[in-house]
Structure 1
Amino acid sequence: MGRIKTKDIKRLTFGLIESYPGKFSADFGKNKEVLGELTIIPHKRVRNRVAGYLTKIAKRKKLAKPLDEPVL
């Protein structure tokens, strides 16, 4: 089981996804760099948690793509 993210982390993450829909990927390091360019987050721990949550959401979206063929 993983750690539970606070409402502040979730709110910030979903706000960033709505504002910049195509900027984030399933790579933690790239998400961390993009966060540094787009926002000013003064604390390293908060930036890392947001980047990790962005990565988790991007991986979920990648796995949740619909199938082209119907399953019988």
Structure 2
Amino acid sequence: MTEKEKQPNEGEGNRTAARAYNEDQQAFVEKGGVEQAAREAREAVEGDERAELDAARSEAKSRAKEHDPEERRDYSRGK
């Protein structure tokens, strides 16, 4: 990347990147991407991938340095 191609420093927060992100998210919602992603996630959790996802969750939790006492989640739902 040349000096001309580098994005200028915008200080705290990057408004250009934030604007692009927001536009992309809006387009995703408008084209129905949320519903499709939700269907795919439900199929993964309720289908053949459940064991793999549960194992990944357990592994990730085992690496956490500590438990957030404010966190209250019921992972038993849907089992």
The question of a shared fold, defined as TM-score above 0.5 by the shorter chain, is answered with no
Give 1 or 2 for the bigger CA radius of gyration: 2
Q: Which is helix-richer, 1 or 2?
A: 1
Larger relative contact order (CA 8 Å, sep ≥ 6): 1
